[in-house]
Structure 1
């Protein structure tokens, strides 16, 4: 099973790179011709630099800000392209300039349309440097940036200061288009929600925010069943490189949990919290160094409750089929019972010890599971899982018992998600 999981993990990046997420949309060319088709909706916080467009005949063509005036993914996103100056001042504390950095560069970019009205349009643009907001007045051909500059001033002893030019820009727009409105903007932060409220005042009743219509839920519940295959190894301190294998133990498991979709419109990256429970009966032979016959035979029953936070990533992501992997950690809370040890005396006579006086077991441990699986029709997940060996013994120095877990399971997803 480990080999299968390894092969799947190697194949995941190939699946991710080859996959599109097309949604119905339209694209406007430089000659103002509007073409209908499907547009690749990508996950990520940065504004796109290219857009993949699929025509009715299935052919795919890439467009850039130089070859596309605008595009609209119906119910999701709208972008317009402009060749404009953008500021280059940094915002990370360790990268702040001494004094105000007024440097800019001019390039063609895709701006995401946030809201529009009779007077102005509001856009956002995020690249690897920072988030920026732009305003385009109805009379103007191109938008301009709402400027915020964070810097270290002389004599500030390393304390950052902020020049909020955007407040003056917004104030001028209110005076120009909504002089009768009283709006105190001195405390308006450089955030989408706060700036959008000011733009709503500027545009008045005709303002329209560009919202996501086809918004999938941001969370969903799931329930599942599975089969744990627990493989125990005995390792003696006298011969740490020698592992004594024992028969695998099969343990049915039940699971419930909740998924939080990082970007519900796409549903590629998910934070999952899972709770599961299982019971199992274990028996294991213990050897001393180079012995042919076991020195002792341990047995115990285990009931465990497991909490596992993890990240799930859909490397291949379509409505009908998803191929995914998960990784995280698992907190095992266990209760042990029926602990007994059968040992051999120096004369090789059996001696049974009830209560496990010679066996110390950990009721709390942390493990690190991974899994790979497929999701069918956004409802059923089939997966294989593996947890690296972890010691279930504690407080002893002369031996340890390691358990590796393999898991085969199925989950049912409740609710709608992309």
Structure 2
């Protein structure tokens, strides 16, 4: 089982990057013909530069760019339009800000993601390696970037200056689109440069209700697992002998946590934060002549494990996933004893050889599993041996495997 999990986790990056995810969609060509078929819909932060299209699921793949099509979309998910736009290049990363407004820009033909289309204006977003930008297009106009220039003021008290040109741009659009309607300029002056805030304002400009996303970006889970663990010694210690016998502990484990989807429409890639409560009963024994020496101890653990999970197979009612992450382990050790038992006389002595166990340490975790009917998750996990002590010439290490079931709360 341990070897199988390791092989799957090693192979998972290859499987991830070779995945195709063709969903129903459309393409609008340069001649304004609309082609219905299937789009390879990928998880990504940046706006696409190309996309693959098939007229039939098993048909030939065509690659389109922003230069040879006007628009494309995936049904009930996202849509993009190709436009020639000016793109500001000023940084927004605080560590790379200039000491004065960076007014540099470039002109390019790119795919803009449609955030909201209405009777008065359309709101778009564009993300590249530099930053995220938003564009607004009036009914008969072309997309214009809503401009924000951030820079670091060096004189006097060092601070970040927000050049909010987008506020004035939006004020002009609001007055033009809805003449005669009073604008709350004080409220507008505090508008954040972000998708949620801009969507709310654009809905007001278009005099329409702001629709909620069809797919939730988060879900909760809770479950129960069987935890298999064992402790062993390594280094220069009698208990590190190949003849040492290790007792394997089988005990229940409680799990709960939250999943955050990278793209809730696709639902392939997600970030999971898991809290598990578990315990183990450990024993290592070695025989020396007529005497058997045993070291036994119990551990109670609360483990917080951030991890990345990818659904390699992502059908609606059946998914196969792999995950990888690192855990922070808070441990409490109890009943820590060294015992020497004489097999001839039957007498035993408790030896005063206490060892210091770490209260906090770190671990690696890999997981594979399946999801059934969007609600039941069955998984197997493995944590390679980790030291739970901190000695120079030897250490005590623990390995863990688990088999568990989670119930998923949510619609994804």
The answer for the alignment partner of 1:69 in structure 2 is: 70
1:309 shift after superposition:
2.0
1:18-417 equivalences in 2 (<5 Å)? 18-59=18-59, 60-140=61-141, 142-152=142-152, 155=155, 158-183=158-183, 184=185, 185-203=188-206, 205=207, 207=208, 209=210, 212-213=213-214, 215-216=215-216, 218-233=218-233, 235-236=235-236, 245-263=244-262, 264-267=264-267, 268-285=269-286, 297-314=293-310, 316-319=312-315, 320-337=318-335, 339-342=337-340, 352-354=348-350, 357-360=352-355, 362=357, 364-377=359-372, 378=374, 379-392=376-389, 400=394, 402-416=396-410
Q: Distance in 2 between matches of 1:33 and 1:294?
A: 89
Give the 3 Å change call, closer, same or farther, for CA 271–146 of structure 1 in structure 2.
Answer: same
Moved more, 77-86 or 316-325: 316-325
Q: Which secondary structure does the structure 1 equivalent of 2:409 belong to?
A: coil
Segments of structure 2 that go 5 or more residues without pairing to the other structure are: none
Deviation at residue 385 of structure 1 after TM alignment: 0.4
Change (3 A) 1:232 1:54: same
User: Structure 1: which 5+ residue stretches go unaligned?
Assistant: 287-291
The count of aligned residue pairs is 401
C-alpha contact (below 8 Å) 2:124/2:136 kept by paired residues = yes
Bigger mean CA deviation after superposition, 276-285 or 108-117: 276-285
Structure 1 residue 242, shift from structure 2 partner? 6.6
Verify the 8 A CA contact 1:2 1:386 in the aligned structure 2.
no
Task: Report Cα offsets for 1:278-306 as digits up to 9, x if no partner.
Answer: 342524238xxxxx759761243525233
Contact 2:230 / 2:247 at 8 angstroms: preserved in 1?
yes
**TM-score of the two chains, using structure 2 as the length reference:** 0.85
Provide the TM-score with structure 1 as the length reference.
0.84
RMSD after superposition: 3.2
- For residues 326 and 174 of structure 1, what CA distance do their matches in structure 2 show? 48
1:336/1:164 CA distance change after superposition, 3 Å: closer
Question: What is the alpha-carbon distance in structure 2 between the residues aligned to residue 89 and residue 417 of structure 1?
Answer: 39
Tell me: CA distance 1:159–1:3, structure 2 relative to 1, closer, same or farther (3 Å): same
Query: SS of the residue aligned with 2:182?
Result: coil
Alpha-carbon shift at residue 275 of structure 1 (Å): 1.6
Query: What is the CA–CA distance in structure 2 between the aligned matches of 1:312 and 1:44, rounded to whole Å?
Result: 15
- What is the distance in 2 between the residues matched to 1:229 and 1:107? 57
Change (3 A) 1:134 1:155: same
Rounded Cα–Cα distance in structure 1 between residues aligned with 2:243 and 2:261: 44
Shift of 1:375: 1.4
**Structure 1 residue 177 displacement after superposition:** 1.8
* 1:29–1:254 Cα change, 3 Å: same
CA separation of 1:297 and 1:274: change in aligned 2, threshold 3 A: same
Contact 1:86/1:106, CA 8 A, preserved across alignment: yes
Structure 1 residues 338 and 111: alpha-carbon distance in aligned structure 2, compared to 1, 3 A threshold:
closer
Give the 3 Å change call, closer, same or farther, for CA 95–386 of structure 1 in structure 2.
Answer: closer
Could you list the per-position Cα deviations for residues 174-208 of structure 1 after superposition, in whole angstroms to 9, with x for gaps in the alignment?
Answer: 221223222212222222233333323332x2x36
